């Protein structure tokens, strides 16, 4: 069965702002959103301990720039089969 969770990096800023306003936790993000398929970073969405670029929720954050190309030099990048 295919996973239907959206990728965190693809969320519009308005949805990020709404989650902040609602006081959503890191646990909520980790439960409801996915990190990229090529990302082997353990619990990359765990904010302070995760991938800082992926978790950058500022209006001009790097979160939306995340791509396989962007992450190519990261030591946690895995090969997609």
Q: Assess if residue 74 is contained within a domain.
A: no
Task: Give residue 26's domain range.
Answer: 8-65
Three-state SS for 29?
helix
User: Which phi and psi angles does 77 have, rounded to 5°?
Assistant: -70, 135
Among residues 27, 38, 39, 35, the alpha carbon closest in space to that of 6 is found at: 35
Q: Assess if residue 35 is contained within a domain.
A: yes
**81 residues of the chain, pLDDT tens digit each:** 566 899 999 999 999 999 999 999 999 999 999 999 999 999 999 988 999 999 998 888 899 999 999 999 999 988 654
Query: What is the pTM (predicted TM-score) of this model?
Result: 0.83
Count of domains for the chain: 1
Q: Assess if residue 30 is contained within a domain.
A: yes
pLDDT value at residue 81: 46
């Amino acid at each position: 069965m295919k996973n239907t969770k959206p990728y965190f990096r693809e969320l519009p800023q308005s949805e990020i702002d709404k989650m902040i306003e609602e006081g959503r936790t890191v646990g909520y993000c980790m439960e409801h959103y996915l990190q990229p398929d090529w990302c082997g970073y353990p619990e990359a969405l765990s904010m302070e301990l995760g991938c800082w670029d992926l978790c950058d929720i500022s209006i001009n954050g790097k979160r939306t720039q995340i791509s396989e190309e962007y992450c190519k030099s990261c030591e946690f990048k895995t090969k997609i089969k």
